[in-house]
Amino acid sequence: MIFGTLPSGRQVESVELSSGRLRAEVLTYGAIVRTLEVSGVNVVLGLDTLEDYRTRSRYFGAVVGRYGNRIAGGTFTLDGVEFRLPLNNGPNSLHGGTEGFDSQVWTIAERTGSSVTLTLTSPDGDQGYPGTLTASVTYTLADDALRIDYTAETDAPTVVNLTNHSYFNLKGGGDVLDHVIRMEAEHYLPVDEDKIPTGELAKVKDTPFDFREPHALGERYDGAYDHCFVLDGPVQVTAGDLTMEVTTTEPGVQFYSGSMLDGVTTPFGAFAGLCLETQHFPDAPNQPQFPSTVLRPGELRTSTTTYRFI
pLDDT at 87 > cutoff 80: yes
Residue pair 96/67 in contact (Cβ under 8 Å)? The answer is yes
> Is 69 annotated for ligand binding?
yes
Reading across the β-sheet that carries 145-154, which strands appear in turn?
107-111, 115-122, 133-142, 145-154, 301-309, 242-248, 235-239, 180-183, 215-216
For the stretch 163-192, pLDDT in tens is 999 999 999 999 999 999 999 999 999 999
Three-state SS for 26?
Answer: strand
Residue pair 204/186 in contact (Cβ under 8 Å)? The answer is yes
Confidence of residue 263 (pLDDT cuts 50, 70, 90): confident
Identity of residue 27: L
End-to-end CA distance of the chain: 31
Report the CATH number that the domain containing residue 157 is assigned in CATH.
2.70.98.10
Element (H, E) at 12: strand 11-19
> Is 165 annotated for ligand binding?
yes
pLDDT at 56 > cutoff 90: no
What pLDDT sits at residue 239? 98
d(CA 249, CA 226): 21
d(CA 16, CA 3): 11
Confidence of residue 310 (pLDDT cuts 50, 70, 90): very high
> Is 167 annotated for ligand binding?
yes
d(CA 218, CA 76): 36
> Is 226 annotated for ligand binding?
yes
Mean pLDDT of the region 239-243: 98
What pLDDT sits at residue 227? 97
For the stretch 182-240, pLDDT in tens is 999 999 999 999 999 999 999 999 999 999 999 999 999 999 999 999 999 999 999 99
d(CA 264, CA 270): 10
For the stretch 98-147, pLDDT in tens is 999 999 999 999 999 999 999 999 999 999 999 999 999 999 999 999 99
Model's pTM, two decimal places? 0.97
Paired strand residues for 142? 145
What pLDDT sits at residue 16? 98
For 86-116, letters b (16+ CB in 10 Å) and e give ebbbeebbbbbbeebbbbbbbeeeebeeebb
What pLDDT sits at residue 285? 98
Dihedral of alpha carbons 217, 303, 228, 235, sign: positive
pLDDT at 264 > cutoff 80: no
Confidence of residue 162 (pLDDT cuts 50, 70, 90): very high
**Pick from 51, 52, 32, 34: which is nearest to 43 by CA?**
34
Residue pair 122/129 in contact (Cβ under 8 Å)? The answer is yes
Identity of residue 102: D
For the stretch 244-253, pLDDT in tens is 999 999 999 9
What pLDDT sits at residue 37? 98
**How many separate domains does the chain show?**
1
Domain that holds residue 302: 2-309
Contacts with 120 (C-beta within 8 Å, 6 or more apart), sequence order: 31, 101, 104, 106, 107, 134, 135, 136
The mean of the pLDDT values for the chain is 97
Query: What are the residue numbers of the active site?
Result: 165, 277
Paired strand residues for 202? 188
